[in-house]
């Protein structure tokens, strides 16, 4: 386990070797002790032992982090099966790159360069990770609760 710090202040515990999203939207992978950047973020070994019994929030975060990613096909079938997009909208994504109106509205509301990064990520994704910032953006655009998104990942991972 590593400590993610912002200018020396602990802000989160993260698993070593995975990826971590910083509060400023940057992403670090792999998470390794000794990493730091010019903005004052750093990763270091946990200074004190971490409780062996996670809190319910920690357990839920660990569960979400361990969910297998969904393929582009699984996501698109899930969007149609869940009523979050129509089959013609999903086919248009694949055929022409046309983004459904709900997702387009979410992109349009973002400042640059995050808007462009989100559009590129959506256009080129092959795997969708449960805790990826673009997944979370689309969750908000679709009005999905955390529990609903969890269920989406569980259900459509079966395809």
pLDDT tens sequence across 126-142? 999 999 988 998 898 88
Taking residues 1-16, what's their average pLDDT? 86
The range of the structural domain enclosing residue 76 comes to: 66-156
Q: Are residues 75 and 123 in the same domain?
A: yes
Q: Are residues 87 and 135 in the same domain?
A: yes
pLDDT at 53: 83
Confirm whether 59 is domain-assigned.
no
| Number of compact structural domains in the chain | 2
Chain centroid to Cα 61, Å, comes to 12
Is residue 1 within 8 Å of 50, Cβ to Cβ?
yes
Task: Say how far apart CA 20 and CA 37 lie, in whole Å.
Answer: 13
Confirm whether 58 is domain-assigned.
no
What pLDDT, in 10s, does the model give residues 75-122? 999 999 998 899 999 999 989 989 888 889 999 999 999 999 999 999
Q: Are residues 87 and 112 in the same domain?
A: yes
- Partnered with residue 35 across adjacent β-strands are none
Taking residues 33-61, what's their average pLDDT? 85
| Whole-number average pLDDT of the chain | 89
pLDDT at 62: 92
pLDDT > 90: percent of the chain: 56
Is residue 42 within 8 Å of 35, Cβ to Cβ?
yes
Taking residues 33-49, what's their average pLDDT? 86
pLDDT at 142: 83
């Amino acid at each position: 386990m590593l400590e993610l710090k912002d200018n020396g202040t602990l802000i989160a515990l993260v698993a070593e070797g995975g990826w971590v999203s910083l509060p400023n939207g940057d992403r670090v992978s792999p998470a390794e002790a000794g990493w730091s950047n010019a903005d004052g973020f750093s990763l270091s070994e946990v200074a004190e032992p971490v409780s062996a019994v996670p809190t319910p929030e920690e357990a839920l975060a660990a569960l979400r982090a361990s969910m297998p990613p969904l393929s582009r096909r699984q996501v698109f079938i899930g969007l149609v099966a869940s009523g979050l997009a129509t089959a013609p909208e999903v086919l248009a994504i694949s055929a022409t790159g046309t983004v459904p109106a709900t997702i387009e509205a979410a992109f349009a509301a973002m400042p640059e360069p995050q808007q462009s990064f989100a559009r590129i990520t959506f256009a080129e994704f092959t795997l969708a990770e449960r805790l990826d910032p673009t997944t979370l953006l689309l969750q908000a655009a679709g009005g999905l609760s955390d529990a609903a998104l969890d269920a989406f990942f569980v259900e459509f991972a079966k395809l």
